[in-house]
């Protein structure tokens, strides 16, 4: 992608993003009635579009009258899984020009620089907390709505503190390839009033420190495991930055990491949640519960049998209904994360919950620390891989994958080794094994995707 094309994408994204951000900020003060009316309107629009334009949903929603549908009726609709998403992809999307083959080709062509499919659609891939690969597509306008829901919380905080967001530089210590939402967002917002600059977790820590020292960001956001590493560098005097805000995202923020980060940078941590499926939210600085943007995504917390769980009870899974993506309608879509709703403490009606999500962390090889994303990003980008589990070995990794017949195991092994080398591990040893299944924890229904040396985890069944 040329510099001109990158600038054009950033300019287009800014033109879509800015008005949506300004429209969303006042919603943060809505009461429950205002929120419910908005949710009902958006839900009816979603159901009508899905019923009329998605063959997959037309069959499932044939009995629904979108014009009269109420929020209380949502439980009557069927749920959908990531397996449904991937196996029925061509029938699920609402633009007949789009199919999974075309999206996969776009993802393969976008490993280094972001681009739009058909000049209009953002294509992303995610492994999520389930470890099962998913592919997602939406218009750039729909993605801008999602981006605004992510950034509205820190922007609202700046405005409340009397600080203009214009000219703010946000360093994003997260994904490297723009097929991941965090990296695409950084690329798309790289030249606007709020400028996001990627400092990928897949580069060696020392290189990240050098970049940040040069950048001197106003805001530092990243995976908790990486931000905790940067906090240690700050306390050691090698990192020398003075951000007025520090945020974490995409992984579980432990109490220990929170304390480490707060002590090093002298500011309370804003913990956020953002899924490729479209749900976003953030805590207050230093707070624990996350307030979710349920004006853009309906969220149901349910147990193993699909029954609602009360506040204070951890859910087995989350059912997501995305109200802003009409291209790939996700209606009661199962997320593997576990949420625990907090007791309502304000009349706004927004869901406030703690999240027990992915905790991949760091694989340590002597003095070399490798972030799990250096591995996960390669596996998610391999379209033939549907599920995986990674076990650390003394000098590398052993990877069990469930994959299609078109998997090039040699190419995947090479790509994993190359990524580990770039992250700082000399002469890594990588083994890729095809397996029939990966055993799940019977209590949680999940598998541990990254198992460090000496760690316990379910064993993959050989193929």
Q: Are residues 384 and 438 in the same domain?
A: yes
For residue 387, tell me if it sits in a domain: yes
Q: Is residue 411 part of a domain?
A: yes
Q: What is the pLDDT of residue 89?
A: 97
CA 130 distance to own-chain centroid: 12
Looking at residue 228, its pLDDT comes to 87
Query: Residue 65 has what pLDDT?
Result: 97
Sheet holding 460-462, edge to edge: 450-451, 385-392, 396-403, 429-438, 460-462
Task: Find the range with the poorest average confidence among 56-70, 404-418, 434-448.
Answer: 434-448
* Residues 276, 407 within the same domain: no
pLDDT tens per residue, range 369-404: 888 878 887 887 888 887 888 999 999 999 999 888
Best-predicted range by mean pLDDT among 85-94, 354-363, 441-450? 85-94
For residues 430 and 351, what is the distance between their CA atoms, to the nearest angstrom? 43
What pLDDT does residue 58 have? 97
Domain check: are 99 and 215 in the same one? yes
Q: Other CB atoms closer than 10 Å to residue 172's CB: what's the count?
A: 25
CA distance linking residue 51 with residue 223, whole number of Å: 38
Q: Which residues does residue 365 pair with via DSSP β-bridges, in sequence order?
A: 368
CATH number of the domain where residue 78 is located: 3.40.50.12780
Residue range 107-120: average pLDDT?
87
| Residue 262, Cβ density class (10 Å: 0-12 exposed, 13-18 middle, ≥19 buried) | middle
Whether residue 278 contacts residue 330, with contact meaning beta carbons closer than 8 Å, is answered with: yes
Helix axes 409-422, 373-381, angle to 10 degrees: 150
Query: Domain of 174?
Result: 1-297+323-331+340-359
316 assigned to some structural domain: no
Give the mean pLDDT of the chain.
88
Parallel/antiparallel/unpaired status of strands 297-302 and 333-335: unpaired
Beta carbons within 8 Å of 314's beta carbon, 6+ residues apart: 338, 339, 340, 356
Residues 349 and 426 in one domain: no
Write the burial class of residue 230 (CB in 10 Å: 0-12 exposed, 13-18 middle, 19+ buried). Answer: buried
pLDDT at 52 over 50: yes
- Which of 65-69, 80-84, 246-250, 266-270 has the least mean pLDDT? 246-250
Comparing 187-196, 334-343, 425-434, which segment has the lowest mean pLDDT? 187-196
CA angle 344, 349, 352 (to 5 degrees): 50
Q: Does 316 score more than 60 pLDDT?
A: yes
Beta bridge partners of 394: none
User: What are 133-157's pLDDT values in tens digits?
Assistant: 889 999 999 999 999 999 999 899 8
Give CA–CA dist 50/344, Å, rounded.
32
Note whether residue 317 is domain-resident. Answer: no
Give Cα separations from 234 to 167, 202, 277 (angstroms): 24, 19, 34
Do the beta carbons of residue 338 and residue 314 sit within 8 Å?
yes
Average pLDDT over residues 295-316: 93
* DSSP-assigned states of every residue in 329-359: --SSEEE--EEEEPPP-STT---EEEEE---
pTM for the whole structure: 0.79
290, 383: one domain? no
The secondary structure element, H or E, covering residue 198 is strand 194-198
Contact between 438 and 398 under an 8 Å Cβ cutoff? The reply is no
Share of the chain above pLDDT 90, in %: 59
Do 273 and 405 belong together in one domain? no
Choose the weakest-confidence range: 27-31, 179-183, 348-352, 446-450.
Answer: 446-450
- Rounded-to-5 percentages of helix, strand, coil across the chain: 35, 25, 40
| Beta carbons of 6 and 187 less than 8 angstroms apart | yes
For 346, other C-beta atoms within 10 Å of its C-beta total: 10
Residue 308, in any domain of the structure: no
Q: What angle do CA 430, 431, 433 make, to 5 degrees?
A: 150
Q: Is the pLDDT of residue 442 over 60?
A: no
Inter-residue contact 398 to 388 (CB < 8 Å): no
Report how many domains make up the chain. Answer: 2
Overall average pLDDT of the 18-26 stretch: 95
**pLDDT level of residue 420 (50, 70, 90 thresholds):** very high
Q: What pLDDT does residue 78 have? A: 96
């Amino acid at each position: 992608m040329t510099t001109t094309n990158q600038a054009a994408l950033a300019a287009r994204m800014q033109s879509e993003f800015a008005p949506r951000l300004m429209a969303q900020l006042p919603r943060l003060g809505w009461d429950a009635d205002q929120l419910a009316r908005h949710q009902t309107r958006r839900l009816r629009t979603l159901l009508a579009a899905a019923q009329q334009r998605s063959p997959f949903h037309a069959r499932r929603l044939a009995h629904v009258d979108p014009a009269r549908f109420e929020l209380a009726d949502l439980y009557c609709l069927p749920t959908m899984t990531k397996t449904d998403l991937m196996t029925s992809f061509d029938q699920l999307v609402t633009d007949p020009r789009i199919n999974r083959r075309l999206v996969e080709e776009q993802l393969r062509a976008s490993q280094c620089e972001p681009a739009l499919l058909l000049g209009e659609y953002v294509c992303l891939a995610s492994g999520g907390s389930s470890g099962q690969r998913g592919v997602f597509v939406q218009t750039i306008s729909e993605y801008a709505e999602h981006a605004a829901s992510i950034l509205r919380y820190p922007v609202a905080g700046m405005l409340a503190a009397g600080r203009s967001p214009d000219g703010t530089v946000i360093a994003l210590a997260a994904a490297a390839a723009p097929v991941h939402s965090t990296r695409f967002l950084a690329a798309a917002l790289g030249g606007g009033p709020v400028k996001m600059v990627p400092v990928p977790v897949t580069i060696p820590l020392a290189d990240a420190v050098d970049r940040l020292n040069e950048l001197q960001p106003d805001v530092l956001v990243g995976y908790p495991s990486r931000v905790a590493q940067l906090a240690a560098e700050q306390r050691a005097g090698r990192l020398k930055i003075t951000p007025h805000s520090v945020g974490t995202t995409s992984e579980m923020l432990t109490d220990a990491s929170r304390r480490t980060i707060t002590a090093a940078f002298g500011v309370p941590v804003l913990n956020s949640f953002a899924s490729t499926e479209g749900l976003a939210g953030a805590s207050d600085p230093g707070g624990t519960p996350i307030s979710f943007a349920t004006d853009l995504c309906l969220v149901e917390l349910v147990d193993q049998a699909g029954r609602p769980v009360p506040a204070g009870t951890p859910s087995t899974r989350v059912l997501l209904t995305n109200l802003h993506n009409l291209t790939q309608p996700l209606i009661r879509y199962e997320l593997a994360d576990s949420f625990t709703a907090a007791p309502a403490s304000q009349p706004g009606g927004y869901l406030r919950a703690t999240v027990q999500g992915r905790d991949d962390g760091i694989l340590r090889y002597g003095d070399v620390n490798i972030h799990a994303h250096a591995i996960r990003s390669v596996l998610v980008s391999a379209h033939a891989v549907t599920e995986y589990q990674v076990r650390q070995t003394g000098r590398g990794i052993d990877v069990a994958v469930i994959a299609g017949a078109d998997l090039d195991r040699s190419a995947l092994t090479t790509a994993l080794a190359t990524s580990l080398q770039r992250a700082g591990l000399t002469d890594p040893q990588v083994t890729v094994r095809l397996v029939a299944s990966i055993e799940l924890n019977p209590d949680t229904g999940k598998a541990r995707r990254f198992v460090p040396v000496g760690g316990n985890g379910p064993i993959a069944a050989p193929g």
